Amino acid sequence: MNGLGGLNKSEHGVGIGLVQLQLPLTVTKADLARQTQLVVDLVAKARRNQPGMDLVVFPEYALHGLSMDINPEIMCDLDGPEVAAFKTACRENAIWGCFSIMERNPDGMPYNSGIVIDDQGELKLYYRKMHPWVPVEPWEPGDLGIPVIDGPKGAKLALIICHDGMFPEMARECAYKGAEIMIRTAGYTAPIRQSWRFTNQSNAFCNLMVTASVCMCGSDGTFDSMGEGMICDFEGTIIAHGTAGRVNEIITAEVRPDLVREARRGWGVENNIYQLGHRGYVAVAGGAGDAPYSYMHDLVAGTYRLPWEDEVKVTDGTPCGFEKPTRKYGESAKLAAE
């Protein structure tokens, strides 16, 4: 299924490149401009690296690094120069690209956003991280859901970001909406290495879905990101895995969405994405299609509460130096201040 890292393209294959980007330190607008140009240059490198590559993926924090700086001067906009540069790079190199921006939010804290641009330079996917890595990250919770698009060669494509992938519900939602390939971009550091690996594999297997995941790489003098570019097939097998610590390496593989479709339609044993909604179909016609899980009902009702809820010790960002928030989710900063 790998095609020697995508060197041998099959008729139905999609070539993916994951960039283990050097972790930057971005403080000023000039830093942001330099980092934007570096990403643009690496889009061109990806195209030169492998003419058959269909999609190049950059990690979370590719422009901003891991400082968690919310200085408005270095926040980005969808219609800003950074995204415009990415669009031009994809168009000029005839390649799809996945990019990360910290997005300005006039109504609250910035969003941690991801975008996918097609080979004509058009924005095709726009996602805001739903599960910021609390208590470390200050970003506003995403409010756009998980979009699934027709990606390269018609493959159904979804994007989640970093900590999102630790919630099995996120990958399940991607698959439920039809995703055959799920991208996961991240800025994780070395302590997360093991959980990164097995969640990428389990997200793939539990949903019969390809996962393509990559972190930032190297050191900014304070933090050390791990790279760990990884592509898993729908059986959860790792088919490409980056060299730990090798900055700007592009991890490549060919994946086969057509085989994902075949498995989802043809598997009996372990077709878990189907069987979740058709429990015990051997015993009862069509299987049980109920929702026997308490947490699902409680989330919908707004009553989600753990048995140990009152004993949880970290419930805001104060341990990481952030002020305790008073604004409720969905409430704008302006209204909350009035």
Structural domains of the chain sorted by starting position, each given as residue range(s) with its CATH number in brackets: 3-269 (3.60.110.10)
Site of tokens 């992938």: 165
DSSP H or E segment with residue 259: helix 257-266
Question: What type of residue is 74?
Answer: I
| DSSP annotation of 126 | E
What is the rounded radius of gyration, in angstroms, for the C-alpha atoms of the chain? 20
* pLDDT score of 335: 65
Task: Give how far Cα 300 sits from Cα of 170, 304, 319, Å.
Answer: 16, 8, 30
Confidence of residue 337 (pLDDT cuts 50, 70, 90): low
Tokens of 267: 């598997």
* pLDDT score of 338: 62
Point out which residues pair with 120 in neighbouring strands. Answer: none
Which of these is catalytic: 76, 82, 129, 174? 129
Say if residue 135 is preceded by a cis peptide, omega within 30 of 0.
Answer: yes
Backbone angles phi, psi at 120, to 5 degrees: -105, 0
Nearest to 184 by CA among 57, 74, 299: 57
Which of these is catalytic: 162, 174, 217, 232? 162
**HSE-CB for 65 with a 13 A CA cutoff:** 22
Is there a catalytic annotation at residue 60? yes
**Would you put residue 36 in left (φ > 0), alpha (ψ -120 to 50) or beta?**
alpha
Interatomic CA distance for residues 20 and 217, integer angstroms: 5
Evaluate if residue 75 carries a pLDDT over 60.
yes
* pLDDT score of 336: 66
Tokens of 326: 């008073």
The predicted model gives 8-22 an average pLDDT of 93
Evaluate if residue 1 carries a pLDDT over 60.
no
* pLDDT score of 301: 97
By DSSP bridging, strand 217-219 and strand 156-161 are: unpaired
Evaluate if residue 120 carries a pLDDT over 60.
yes
Question: What type of residue is 111?
Answer: Y
* pLDDT score of 95: 98
Evaluate if residue 177 carries a pLDDT over 90.
yes
Is there a catalytic annotation at residue 206? no
252-309 tens-digit pLDDT:
999 999 999 999 999 999 999 999 999 999 999 999 999 999 999 999 999 999 999 9
202-252 tens-digit pLDDT:
999 999 999 999 999 999 999 999 999 999 999 999 999 997 679 999 999
pTM over 0.85: yes
By DSSP bridging, strand 123-128 and strand 111-117 are: antiparallel
The predicted model gives 88-93 an average pLDDT of 98
**HSE-CB for 147 with a 13 A CA cutoff:** 17
Q: Quick check: 220 and 66 in contact, CB under 8 A?
A: yes
Which of these is catalytic: 60, 140, 228, 249? 60
Tokens of 122: 């058009």
Interatomic CA distance for residues 295 and 320, integer angstroms: 29
Point out which residues pair with 182 in neighbouring strands. Answer: 158, 211
Percentage, residues of the chain above pLDDT 90: 91
Angle value at C-alpha 84, between 80 and 87, nearest 5 degrees: 150
Is there a catalytic annotation at residue 129? yes
Interatomic CA distance for residues 63 and 100, integer angstroms: 7
Q: Quick check: 58 and 98 in contact, CB under 8 A?
A: yes
- What's the gap between Cα 229 and its chain centre? 12
* pLDDT score of 4: 77
Cβ neighbours, 10 Å, residue 302:
6
Q: Which residues contact 307 (CB under 8 A, 6 or more apart)?
A: none
Confidence of residue 333 (pLDDT cuts 50, 70, 90): confident
